[in-house]
Amino acid sequence: MAASVDTETPTKIYDLEGEDFFQRFNLKTVKSLGRGMSGEVFLVKSKSGSGRMLAVKKFSLSEDVRERSLRQFSTEAGVMQAVTHDHLVPCVMAARCHDYAVIAMPYYPRGDLVELGRQQEPRRVNRYMSHVTRALDQLHRHNIAHNDVKLENVFLDRADRAHLGDMGLALEVKDESRTALAGVVGGTRGYWSPEKLEADTRDRIDPFKCDVYALGVMYWALLSGEDPEEGIDYLGKVRAAKNLNLSSSQRSTLERLLEPNPLERPTSSQVVKMMKIK
């Protein structure tokens, strides 16, 4: 398995002040792939017709959003360049222009896990979750919580392999307790863990265990076909479900991912072992 981390090397960002990224690298926009909180993603290709298609996330640097966009751009580019893994979306290139910044990434033609549609076959779901768990564990080993694990942030390549992306909310945890203020532990509300839902913004919680819980919510959503919602007793749903067609080990893994008590919930490294990932 190819995996590496380089936290000592400064993030490589092209400074294109006064230039246009797309003109500089002879690229043309094919279509918009979607818009998120931090920017819009475009499918681009070379004007010459050669080379691979890329997905380019464009961050607006207009005055009203400049500070937030620069923070998210720097975080995402930095994490993508510092931590690499077969199942993490890589950064092909990052650049900052006068009024926007961009991150170029591989294009995943099969889209994200939301685009799969409803209830999926358990063996296929387990394979996707094994890919994401390995990627998540690689981040956690270097004290980085993804902080927004969800279906929309996992992408499928042509070989049906899953890749975890969108690092704009990633959180580097430097405290020896491996906790962070609940107010900076982010994510999408439907994937929030019980401790995140109950915490005051000044409380300290474990963002790595929050990532693991979100992984469990994603696992359940693919198996059940239900959309994630805030405040759901997911563990109760799993235990009550009789038609999931899971092996005993798969059901046990899912139940442990969705354990409400973070002290009883496994780490990503433990989940890797539970899923018998080599």
Q: Are the C-beta atoms of 189 and 214 separated by less than 8 Å?
A: no
Token readout for 174 is 């430097």
1.10.510.10, 3.40.640.10, 3.30.230.10, 2.130.10.10: which CATH number matches 111-275?
1.10.510.10
Q: What residue type is 68 in one-letter code? A: R
Residue with tokens 């690092």: 167
DSSP H or E segment with residue 75: helix 66-82
DSSP structure string for 203-220: SEE-HHHHHHHHHHHHHH
Which pairing describes strands 144-145 and 171-172: parallel, antiparallel, or unpaired?
Answer: antiparallel
Beta partners for residue 46, in sequence order: 27
Comparing CA positions, the residue from 206, 146, 201 lying closest to residue 176 is 206
Q: What is the pLDDT of residue 21?
A: 96
Beta partners for residue 85, in sequence order: 3
CA 59 – CA 260 distance, rounded (Å): 36
Q: Where are the domains of the chain?
A: 13-106, 111-275
- CA–CA distance from 122 to each of 91, 127, 225 (Å)? 31, 9, 12
Comparing CA positions, the residue from 211, 212, 239 lying closest to residue 224 is 239
CA 14 – CA 16 distance, rounded (Å): 6
pLDDT digits (tens), the chain, 278 positions: 333 333 344 458 999 999 999 999 999 999 999 987 778 999 999 998 777 899 999 999 999 999 999 999 999 999 999 999 999 999 999 999 999 999 999 999 999 999 987 788 999 999 999 999 999 999 999 999 999 999 999 999 999 999 999 999 999 999 899 999 999 998 899 999 999 999 999 999 999 999 999 999 999 999 999 999 998 999 999 999 988 888 898 999 999 999 999 999 999 999 999 987 44
Contacts of residue 271, Cβ cutoff 8 Å, sequence gap at least 6: 133, 137, 212, 215, 253, 256, 257
Q: Mark the binding-site residues for ATP, compressed into ranges.
A: 58
Q: Are the C-beta atoms of 74 and 59 separated by less than 8 Å?
A: no
Q: What is the pLDDT of residue 245?
A: 85
Q: What is the pLDDT of residue 119?
A: 82
Q: Judge residue 66's burial from the number of C-beta atoms within 10 Å of its C-beta, 0-12 exposed, 13-18 middle, 19 or more buried.
A: middle
- CATH C-level class of 13-106: alpha beta
Q: What is the pLDDT of residue 2?
A: 39
Q: What residue type is 48 in one-letter code? A: S
Q: Mark the binding-site residues, compressed into ranges.
A: 58
Token readout for 6 is 């380089």
Q: What is the pLDDT of residue 11?
A: 59
